[in-house]
Amino acid sequence: MARTLRLLITGGGTGGHTYPALTTLSAVRERRLPHDVLWVGTANGLEARITAEHGIPFKAITTGKLRRRPNLRELGTNIADVFRIPVGVAQAVGHAARYLPDVVLSTGGYVAVPIGVAAKLIRRPLVMHEQTTVVGLANRILARLATTIALSHESSMDYLPASARERAVVTGNPIRPELLRGDRAAAYDHFGLTFEVPLIYVTGGAQGSKQINTLIAESLPRLLRHAQIVHQCGPAWIDQMRAVQLPPELSDRYHPVPYVGAELPDLLAATDVMISRAGAGTVSELTAVGKPAVLIPLIPTGGDEQRKNAAYLATNGAARALLEPHPTADQLLAELMPLLADPALRGMMAESARKLGRLDAADQLCELLLQAAHGSR
């Protein structure tokens, strides 16, 4: 491109929306093109912290979330949010008009809607990315405004408005490239693991999951006879999980930790089976690194997206899934034990997962941005 690319990014609230945008920005930078970037999000969203850590210019706007079926407790919040939305749109138009981007990248969350509207009003191309198999309400709105719609899964096409499908492209969901460069031996050294039994990595997200933690606590006495476990249980749960009573001869096979940070790539490389939620980021990482998993989706979520993500992997032989709202420890063990006992079965599941993965997703999304920007000049 002959001059500096001006890229406006919006999206956030959670890591599932924030990290794909950050990874795509990294792909833009790796091409060594002259570029300038502005990220617009909410002041209290994850995107505010992530942009500060990476030195990315950031502007905050007000936004509101419209709940399709608010309960009585949420009714007041819903009414307040109705009045916040036009304020956010006005702020978004102001930021976008002053910045005048060549292209806008939206990765979802309700903060993305005002910027999507602003892009339309100032006639700038909008590239919208959807991470989940189910297209959320915010992205169904933006799909009508977007120049290009990037999907992580082919099955998401059915959730788009019919008029938007011809503008949709399946790119996959960008994942952090460092996750593909893990060192298995380093994880074994870091956590003090043994080569005698398979390794299970359990995670319920950065804050942990009460449901998953409870299931693991109930399963440990039986599970540790067949496996060792690194369990990211969350800071609020670490003392409770360390206090779980275990047979003395098996206690050194259980490794609860509050959080897994920079060592995650190494841990993923060493993992034989994962137990986790089924959020968009988790599904993308599992398929990229090719790991068998037992998925315990968070129920309910908007559009029941986690259960549909889990069912998608299970249907394709890439995972096993506990799809009922309240699975038991016995049900978890019934899914896990065949995997622990059969390395060949784990290998087939890993291969099925890799077939669903898209390692070039960030590059594909970067290319769509450059094409849209070129068309706007």
pLDDT tens readout for residues 353-374: 999 999 999 999 999 999 999 8
- pLDDT reported for residue 205: 86
- pLDDT reported for residue 72: 54
Distance between CA atoms of residues 46 and 300, nearest Å: 22
- pLDDT reported for residue 80: 63
Q: Quick check: do 5-173+359-375 and 178-356 share a fold? A: yes
Phi/psi at 366 (5° precision): -60, -45
Q: How confident is the model at residue 334 (pLDDT cuts 50, 70, 90)?
A: very high
Q: How confident is the model at residue 82 (pLDDT cuts 50, 70, 90)?
A: low
Distance between CA atoms of residues 143 and 130, nearest Å: 10
Residue range 269-297: mean pLDDT, rounded: 95
Distance between CA atoms of residues 229 and 223, nearest Å: 9
Q: What is the DSSP string of 45-96?
A: SHHHHHHHHHT--EEE-------SS--HHHHHHHHHHHHHHHHHHHHHHHHH
Query: What are the boundaries of each domain within the chain?
Result: 5-173+359-375, 178-356
Angle at 364 between CA 359 and CA 365, to 5 degrees: 115
Residue range 59-76: mean pLDDT, rounded: 67
Q: What is the DSSP string of 92-156?
A: HHHHHHHH--SEEEE--STTHHHHHHHHHHTT--EEEEE-SSSPPHHHHHHHTT-SEEEES-GGG
Phi/psi at 294 (5° precision): -110, 115
3-class SS at 194? coil
Q: Is the pLDDT of residue 239 over 70?
A: yes
Q: Is the pLDDT of residue 68 over 70?
A: no
pLDDT tens readout for residues 15-65: 889 999 999 999 999 998 899 999 999 999 999 999 999 999 999 999 866
Mean pLDDT of the chain: 92
Q: Which of 155, 156, 157, 150 is nearest to 173 (CA)?
A: 150
CATH number of 5-173+359-375, picked from 1.25.40.10, 3.40.50.2000, 2.60.40.10, 1.10.260.40:
3.40.50.2000
Distance between CA atoms of residues 318 and 311, nearest Å: 10
Strands 126-130 and 320-321: unpaired
- pLDDT reported for residue 132: 87
pLDDT higher for 374 or 343? 343
- pLDDT reported for residue 81: 66
pLDDT higher for 275 or 64? 275
Neighbours of 54 (CB within 10 A): 12
Q: Is the pLDDT of residue 377 over 80?
A: no
CA dihedral of 205, 210, 213, 219, whole degrees rounded to 10:
-140
Residue range 78-102: mean pLDDT, rounded: 87
- Residue pair 59/40 in contact (Cβ under 8 Å)? The answer is yes
- pLDDT reported for residue 73: 58
Instruction: Please give the single-letter amino acid code of residue 220.
Output: L
Neighbours of 351 (CB within 10 A): 13
The CATH number of 178-356 is 3.40.50.2000
Beta bridge partners of 203: 232, 276
Distance between CA atoms of residues 296 and 127, nearest Å: 32
Residue range 147-165: mean pLDDT, rounded: 93
pLDDT higher for 294 or 3? 294
- Angle 280-289/343-356 helices, nearest 10 degrees? 120
Q: Which of 17, 15, 21 is nearest to 259 (CA)?
A: 15
Render the burial of 312-341: b for 16+ CB within 10 Å, e for the rest.
bbbeeebbbbbbeeebebeebbebbeebbe
- pLDDT reported for residue 67: 53
Angle at 110 between CA 35 and CA 213, to 5 degrees: 105
pLDDT tens readout for residues 115-139: 999 999 999 999 999 998 888 888 9
3-class SS at 251? helix
- pLDDT reported for residue 375: 82
Distance between CA atoms of residues 284 and 175, nearest Å: 7
